[in-house]
Structure 1
Amino acid sequence: MITMIKKTSTVLLATIAISGPMMTSLSAHAADEHFVMISHAPDSDSWWNTVKNAVKESADTMGVRVDYRNPSTGDLADMARIVEQSIATNPDGIIVSIADFDVLSGPLEKATRKGIPIITINSGTAEQSLKLNALMHIGQPEYEAGFGAGKKAQKAGVTSFLCVNHYITNPASVERCKGYADAIGVDLTSSMIDSQQDPSGIEMKVRAYMRSNPDTDAILAVGPTSAHPTIRALDKMKLNGKVHFSTFDLSEDIANAIKNGTIAFAIDQQPYLQGYMPVVILTLYNRYGIIQSNNINSGPGYITADNLALVEKLTGTVR
């Protein structure tokens, strides 16, 4: 998925408990401050576990309570309803990913009218965050991250590619693919597939595309959900190391694929920062009226075989 960002300490929860299967209490502290973090991620997206870890550590450090809420299937209409439900509880702040500006702008306007401060994270742009009247945006500039990855691939001789997009309804994922396509100078339309999220289906679609387009130089996956089945597809087709393969984000499988040469590099948006920093910033804003004047770009960073050892032990927890 998709996705963004950096470290520090606290997240959001409530003196009023929000009921529902999609809400998880991330801190046992009893506190006056009640924040809510709302992401677009389905329950199956393990990448967000690092964000949740950061939220818990940040909440514990700052002595606040945070609710983490998400649409269980990743449905954006469901996410918009969660935003509205969360606003109705009058939290002291909202942290939200801009999975789709058009879908979320209406519900989030209600937060502004009620004077609830907002920090946007992960998906979306600084410009969209500003339009939502958010205090700031913490995340990775997605087009620029894709463009940077494409430039690295171009230096390796790449002139064509396949973007395996498992979350095509999220504009940020398309921006990743578009940046890469522009960097190597190709049209995205014929270079991107809507793989959806079923692992077997993704593997099958990648294999079918590569059979139909045998001259494809490279593959870009927009996250672990699409990267893991692509690793298996290349292995079965005996294309490991023969196709320049890069992916957004990190996992144990991706780290192993970097080590064995299947993946050239992973684009790291430092998700820990996306969970840790907004809790700290909202706490300082609520308590003291302190707010920094700039957004936080949490990425992109690039993980290769040369620097993998620095982050591998922390995969899934801090990295």
Structure 2
Amino acid sequence: MSKGRIRTTAGAGILVLLAGCNPEQSAFAPAGVEAERINVLFWVMTIAGGFILVGVLVLSAVAIYGGETLRSQLSNERFITGAGIVFPAVVLSMLLVYGFVVLGAGAGTPPSPDGIRIAIKGEQWWWRLTYVDADGNSFESANELHVPVGQPIYLELTTADVLHSFWAPRLAGKLDMIPGRTNILTLTATEEGVSRGQCAEYCGGAHALMSFHVVAQTQEDFQAWVAKESGPAVKNENGRAARGRQLFLNAGCGGCHTIRGTRAAGAIGPDLTHVGGRHSLAAATLSNNAQAFAAWISNNQHIKPENKMPPYNIFTRPELEDLALYLESLK
């Protein structure tokens, strides 16, 4: 291998290691009760496994290089029974019980005081979120989960098509989304902040581009967000945004997307009522700005191949810019 190729490979390896240090999507930077339990269990099992590995290596060295007396002791039937059967059975049983205790396996979590439920449905390749309050009122969002800090939240996980897997590493473990059934995941955020999650089950060509953000907020901020998010879109009086709004409605975009407060009521694609206020576009594939909206509308099959939205090349450049400005204004 040439020196140049070695340097390139080493550089790529360093970049990968540095990327792994980002806490935004790291299970080693827990920000939820369930994730903290998983982190503790991981380190306990890793350290215990490390000690066992060292012990096995030492015994292997003794068996190879040790004196006749030591080697004969290792081959003793009593030692083999104790070290090869009793020790693994006891240690593994203890770790199993400890894992059940730490993770609270089988323990029920009381429902949230305000009765809020969040149903998350995996689509190809984005996330449909439906928030339902204690009175049965509901509203939809997409690709961004908001939760209050310190309150256990039930997530009802389903899928509209193939197997998906919901994983927010900083808050909880992963749980599969299986056609025909609903799985329940409970998570409790312990600190405010924005983290990132990912589909952890290969679900098709754009699987790697099926991510989401989790926003953990104080109770007051969460209630304020719910009040705003459940309402209709705020009408923008800017002339270009108003033209973009008319383009959106006249071009048939409302056949797939909903914008509450307008006649757009499609249910095929994500709800866009407050899309401009989210942290990203296209399931965390793009930044949230007018340029990204324009790129997605005209070139989405290149950005996320095989997604269900066709590219729209019917707009002139000024029309595309007006439409993008309108979508960006939906805060």
TM-score exceeds 0.5: no
TM-score by length of 1: 0.29
Higher relative CO (Cα under 8 Å, sequence separation at least 6) belongs to: 1
Greater Rg by CA: 2
TM-score by length of 2: 0.28
